[in-house]
Structures are given as C-alpha cells and as structure tokens.
C-alpha cells in the first residue's frame, strides 16, 4: 500500500522526465525516459548514442508477459548488479497498457533505463531487431552493432553473462 501511495505521488514527475538526468531513489537506479526523436525508426540509434560506447542489453518486454516478470524477480537484478557500470541496461515495454507500465517497474524495482512504447512506436523496432515475441533480449556491442536478438539470452542464462563479458573485454 505504501508503494502504491508513493507511486501515485511520483508518477507525474516520472512520466514527465525526458532524459538521462532523471534519478529517483524510489526506483533503485531506474530512469523512466522518453525518446528525443519523434521517429521510432531512430529509437535504437538513440539508445546506442546515449550509451556512450558501452555494451547494451535491451530487454523487450510486456506487462502481461509471465516469462518477462519471472526474469525480473531474481535474474535481472543479479545481471544488473554484475555489470551495472559496464553495460547499459535498457527496458522497452511493448504492447502493454500504459497504466500497467509504471506499477510494473515499481513492483519489480527494475534498475535501468525504461521506455514505454505505443504500438505504432514498436513496429519499426520489431523489424530492426527481428522481435517476434516476448521476452526478446537484444545485445549490442560497443561499436553499436546488434550482436544478437532472441529469447534465449535472458538474464538467467549463463551464456548471457559470458557474452556480455566477452563484449566488454573487446578492444575496438
């Protein structure tokens, strides 16, 4: 109940936030952002630019997705803790009700950069990263190249950690 009350007080501020400078201790390093570009086909490029040369791990999820929420409980926080200073963690919420988005971020205390996408904003991203369902995890190297995009490399998969480590140690 206390979290819900706090959410009600904080929601207008969080929804209005526009860029990386948003930090709110209630959300444990979570930033709720909107894209600067009005062109959804530029959203992935904007994520790459804002990562400043870091490896990027994008979690494409939906509020109604059981496997997505299952990963949020333990695996996502563990992966974030392991790589928090070396990997840019981005969460793209697709095909969901906007009213369910913020409560989900609050409930699971998901650290990282969060974007809520309207259906028409999601379509170009689906094509760019071959997103066919949820969850889909996209890993981008320091050069801004998509290395993989699939449902297999979820936070709980040991291979995910290995791939991120390899990409972090890559010299470009």
Predicted confidence (pLDDT) at residue 17 exceeds the cutoff of 60: no
Residue 28, pLDDT score: 58
Distance CA(172)–CA(97), nearest Å, equals 40
User: How far, rounded to the nearest angstrom, does the alpha carbon of residue 71 sit from its chain's CA centroid?
Assistant: 13
> Could you report the per-residue pLDDT of 53-65, keeping only the tens digit for each?
999 999 999 999 9
Which fold is adopted by the domain 2-17+30-169? Glutaredoxin (3.40.30)
**pLDDT digit string, tens, across residues 71-128:** 999 899 999 999 989 999 999 999 999 999 999 999 998 899 999 999 999 999 999 9
Q: With bands split at pLDDT 50, 70 and 90, how would you rate the model's confidence at 161?
A: very high
The SS3 of residue 124 is helix
Is the predicted pLDDT of residue 130 greater than 60, yes or no? yes
Tell me if 26 sits within 8 A of 36, measured CB to CB. no
Phi-psi region of 112 (alpha: psi -120 to 50; beta: other; left: phi over 0): left
* Measured distance CA(5)–CA(15) in Å, rounded: 16
Cα 7 from Cα 105, distance rounded (Å): 10
Kindly tell me the burial class for residue 99, based on how many C-beta atoms sit within 10 Å of its own C-beta (0-12, 13-18, 19 or more): exposed
pTM for this one? 0.83
């Amino acid at each position: 109940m206390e979290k819900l009350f706090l959410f009600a007080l904080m929601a207008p501020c969080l929804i209005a936030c526009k860029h990386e400078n948003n930090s709110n201790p209630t959300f444990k390093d979570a930033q709720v952002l909107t894209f600067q570009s009005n062109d959804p086909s530029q959203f992935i490029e904007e994520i790459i630019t804002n990562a400043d040369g870091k490896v990027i791990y994008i979690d494409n999820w939906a509020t109604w997705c059981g496997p997505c929420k299952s990963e949020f409980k333990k695996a996502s926080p563990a992966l974030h803790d392991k790589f928090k200073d070396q990997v840019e963690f981005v969460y793209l919420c697709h095909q969901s009700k906007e009213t369910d988005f913020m409560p989900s971020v609050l409930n699971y205390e998901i650290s990282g950069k969060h974007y809520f996408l309207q259906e028409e904003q999601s379509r170009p991203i689906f094509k760019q990263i071959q997103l066919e369902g949820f969850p889909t995890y996209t890993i981008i190297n320091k050069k801004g190249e998509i290395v993989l995009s699939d449902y297999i490399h979820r936070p709980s998969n040991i291979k995910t950690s290995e791939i991120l480590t390899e990409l972090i140690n890559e010299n470009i």
